[in-house]
């Protein structure tokens, strides 16, 4: 079983490493051990983030979550260093290696991705000559917009249109046709053709003669694209090619098309092309933003390759010729610098023990050359670099700590592990002895709902018809549920660090939500949603669902899951809300709010995500399973509206216009 590894996504400020002693205008948010964490430290970190991330954190709730994660990650890092106190030397060596890698990466960013091969003088000259183009950005210090200036220079010095002409195939938009069709036997088709010849409308003839399920909608099939599947393509597989080759115009009626003898024996079609959109490549201005992005990525890659080669030549690095299939010896000289040994086999085997020798050597040389450039340019004393290293260092300690906690069963005794293994013998099948604590920890401290949700979400893998054995399926379930389980364990462990490290929240505004029972969690979520504070409700329900709460009524977890979907919907996060409602419907098929969840999921799928077929499925399930629901009529309206190509909505709009007149 793959060992779980926590990937901490939010960075920590380097200032966290130091105590602070500001005044009352800079309040202490939390005390971690003997260190104070002040609001200014968080604001300093936020100010250095990318613009899009800073904008996202203007929201008060998102800002609170960011600051809490900074404090919690710092607490985990401190606990890790205490836990591994006997391993300081090895830890220092790991941190040195980490700093080396980060310096290499930072040097690449500064010299390539930011400047794209231009010198500071060239950038400054362009900036001075083009201040008007930059608008408000021109008022910022030059260093703050250096990357934007470099990108603008690249676009000014090449013919973007020519590049798009040569590489624009990836933006090709396939054609599609809006089709109506009449399906019937050959004998009946003669009546259809006669009716159409007399001038009867296609829709009327379809309702009268068609034997297809779409007859009631005038034979309307909807849009069929060159690149997408459509239910009718399975019934009539030859139609796809027929439509692509058709030179028909909008309004034309096709020749009679014979169905597949195996799938639709004796069936014939005649189709009407309501609208046609030919496949085309959009004009450059329509996709300029994405084209510029892809173009610049290519230019940056070219600059990186060019500059790496220049570094190699300047350092006089030569790679020794050798048999690529031969094993590497520890004392073998793989590369020289100015005629002296530069990379020996031992260094390659240490850093890239499993890599192909040739590929591993290329990466190692690149690493060493860029690291030296960073040192030569003094980047190792740059504040941004030092902050990055501090962030990565804490993340390294946290990752090792959480992995160690999992490997030791999160404090489970051998007797407890044996008990879990005896109760769930199949869960341990195929895992080595060393993995027993991890498996036991997931089953005991993880979220069992995650296992069930993964199983229900993938019936093709975990269904009774699957060729995999039960043991294989359970092993796959444990692996699939592992990230969510580890996150739940991490959150609970952070709560426990208040005693071990001494985490004290001085300003409760920033402290983590800590529901102590599911009843309290549900009541608070309802209150937050009712008072129109959906972002806080999202945060509250997410935390509550990950914690193992003591509850008199365990079934309240279904209410929490439903409320999570409601909160996400109110917070204008439709994709996540659909996921939450789907989770609720799969895990709790007989829960009280099932019909409401079906309707809200269908509404979001249709109105926000524009996934008509998925929405139709939600509404049809509601219509079939909820005959007494107050939402039944609304669901039936949506079903008819989707199937008839929004005719119901159009009629309502038309009536509204007449009423207004």
SS3 labels along 519-563: HHHHHHHHHHHHCCCHHHHHHHHHHHHHCCCCCCCCCHHHHHHHH
Residue positions counted in the chain: 661
Residue 259 maps to a domain = yes
Residue 220 maps to a domain = yes
Farthest CA pair distance, the chain:
94
Q: Which two tokens stand for residue 395?
A: 């993340």
According to the model, what pLDDT value does residue 5 have? 28
pLDDT confidence tier of residue 16, bands split at 50, 70 and 90:
very low
**The domain containing residue 251 runs over which residues?**
173-277
pLDDT of 480 over the 80 cut: no
- What do you get for the CA distance between the two ends of the chain, in Å? 70
What pTM did the predictor assign?
0.53
**What whole-number distance in Å separates Cα of residue 10 and Cα of residue 70?**
7
State the average pLDDT over residues 162-176: 85
Higher-confidence residue of 455 and 220: namely 220
pLDDT confidence tier of residue 411, bands split at 50, 70 and 90:
low
Beta-bridge mates of residue 278: none
Candidates 482, 418, 459; CA nearest to 586 is: 459
Residue 241 maps to a domain = yes
Q: Is 180 exposed, middle or buried (0-12, 13-18, 19+ CB in 10 A)?
A: buried
According to the model, what pLDDT value does residue 22 have? 39
pLDDT of 425 over the 80 cut: no
Residue 180 maps to a domain = yes
According to the model, what pLDDT value does residue 20 have? 32
Residue 273 is part of a domain; what is its CATH number?
3.10.50.40
Q: What percent of the chain has pLDDT over 90?
A: 19
Instruction: Kindly write down the DSSP assignment for every residue of 593-629, as one continuous string.
Output: THHHHHHHHHHHHHHTS--HHHHHHHHHHHHHH-TT-
Domain count, the chain: 1
Q: Please, are residues 501 and 79 in contact by the beta-carbon 8 Å criterion?
A: yes
- For 191, residues 6+ apart whose C-beta sits below 8 A from its C-beta are 209
pLDDT of 19 over the 50 cut: no
Residue 154 maps to a domain = no
How does the average pLDDT of the chain come out, rounded? 80
Q: Is 576 exposed, middle or buried (0-12, 13-18, 19+ CB in 10 A)?
A: middle
State the average pLDDT over residues 501-527: 82
Lowest mean pLDDT among 95-99, 192-196, 239-243: 239-243
State the average pLDDT over residues 604-621: 91
pLDDT of 544 over the 50 cut: yes
Q: Please, are residues 515 and 524 in contact by the beta-carbon 8 Å criterion?
A: yes
pLDDT confidence tier of residue 430, bands split at 50, 70 and 90:
low
Residue 210 maps to a domain = yes
Ranges 190-199, 456-465, 474-483, 544-553, most confident: 190-199
Sheet order of strands, 317-319 included: 317-319, 333-337, 340-344
């Amino acid at each position: 079983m793959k060992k779980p590894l926590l990937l901490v996504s939010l960075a920590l400020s380097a200032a966290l490493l130091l105590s602070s002693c500001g005044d009352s205008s800079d309040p202490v948010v939390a005390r971690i051990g003997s260190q104070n964490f002040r609001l200014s430290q968080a604001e300093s970190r936020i100010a250095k983030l990318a613009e899009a991330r800073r904008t996202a954190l203007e929201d008060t709730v998102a800002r609170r979550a960011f600051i809490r994660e900074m404090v919690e990650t710092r607490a985990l890092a401190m606990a890790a260093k205490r836990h591994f106190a006997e391993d300081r030397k090895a830890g220092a060596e790991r941190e040195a290696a980490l700093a080396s890698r980060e310096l290499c990466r930072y040097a690449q960013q500064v010299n390539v991705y930011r400047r794209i091969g231009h010198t500071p003088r060239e950038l400054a000259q362009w900036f001075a000559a083009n201040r008007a183009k930059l608008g408000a950005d021109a008022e910022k210090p030059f260093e703050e917009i250096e990357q934007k200036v470099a990108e603008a220079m690249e676009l000014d010095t090449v013919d973007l249109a020519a590049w798009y002409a040569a590489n624009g195939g990836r933006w090709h938009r396939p054609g599609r046709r809006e089709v109506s069709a009449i399906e019937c036997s050959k004998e009946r088709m003669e009546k259809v053709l006669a009716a159409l010849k007399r001038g009867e409308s296609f829709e009327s003839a379809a309702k009268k003669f068609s034997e297809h399920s779409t007859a009631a909608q005038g034979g309307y099939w909807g849009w069929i694209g060159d690149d997408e599947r459509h239910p009718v393509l399975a019934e009539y597989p030859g139609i796809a090619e027929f439509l692509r080759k058709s030179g028909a115009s909008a309004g034309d009626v096709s020749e009679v098309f014979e169905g597949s003898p195996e799938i639709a024996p004796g069936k014939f079609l005649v189709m009407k092309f309501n609208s046609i959109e030919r496949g085309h490549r959009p004009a450059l201005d329509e996709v300029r933003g994405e084209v510029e992005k892809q173009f610049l990525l290519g230019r940056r890659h070219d600059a990186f390759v060019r500059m790496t080669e220049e570094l190699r030549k300047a350092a006089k690095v030569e790679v020794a010729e050798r048999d690529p299939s031969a094993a590497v010896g520890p004392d073998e000289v793989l590369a020289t610098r100015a005629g002296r040994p530069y990379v020996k086999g031992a260094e390659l085997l240490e850093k890239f023990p499993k890599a192909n020798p040739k590929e591993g050597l290329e990466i190692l040389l690149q690493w060493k050359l860029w690291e030296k450039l960073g040192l030569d340019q003094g980047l190792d004393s740059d504040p941004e670099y030092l902050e990055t290293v501090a962030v990565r260092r804490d993340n390294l300690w946290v990752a090792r700590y959480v992995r160690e906690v999992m490997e030791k069963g999160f404090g489970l005794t051998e007797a407890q592990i044996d008990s879990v293994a005896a109760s769930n013998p199949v869960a341990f099948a195929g895992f080595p002895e060393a993995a027993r604590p991890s498996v036991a920890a997931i089953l005991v401290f993880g979220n069992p709902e995650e296992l069930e949700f993964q199983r229900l979400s993938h019936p093709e893998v975990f269904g009774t018809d699957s060729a995999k054995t039960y043991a294989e399926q359970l092993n796959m379930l444990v692996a699939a549920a592992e990230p969510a389980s580890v996150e739940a364990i991490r959150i609970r462990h952070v709560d426990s660090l208040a005693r071990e490290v001494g985490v004290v929240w001085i300003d409760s505004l920033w402290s983590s939500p800590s529901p102590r029972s599911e009843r309290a969690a549900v009541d608070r979520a309802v209150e937050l949603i009712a008072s129109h504070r959906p972002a806080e409700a999202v945060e509250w329900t997410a935390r509550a669902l990950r914690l193992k709460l003591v509850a008199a009524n365990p079934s309240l977890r279904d209410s929490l899951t439903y409320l999570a979907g409601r909160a996400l919907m109110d917070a204008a996060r439709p994709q996540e809300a659909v996921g939450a409602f789907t989770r609720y419907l799969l895990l709790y098929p007989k829960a009280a709010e099932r019909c409401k969840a079906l309707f809200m999921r269908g509404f979001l799928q249709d109105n926000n995500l524009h996934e008509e077929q998925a929405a139709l499925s939600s509404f049809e399930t509601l219509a079939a399973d909820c005959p007494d629901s107050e939402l039944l009529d609304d669901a039936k309206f949506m079903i008819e509206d989707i199937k008839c190509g929004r005719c119901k909505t159009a009629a309502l709009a038309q009536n509204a216009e007449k009423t207004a007149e």
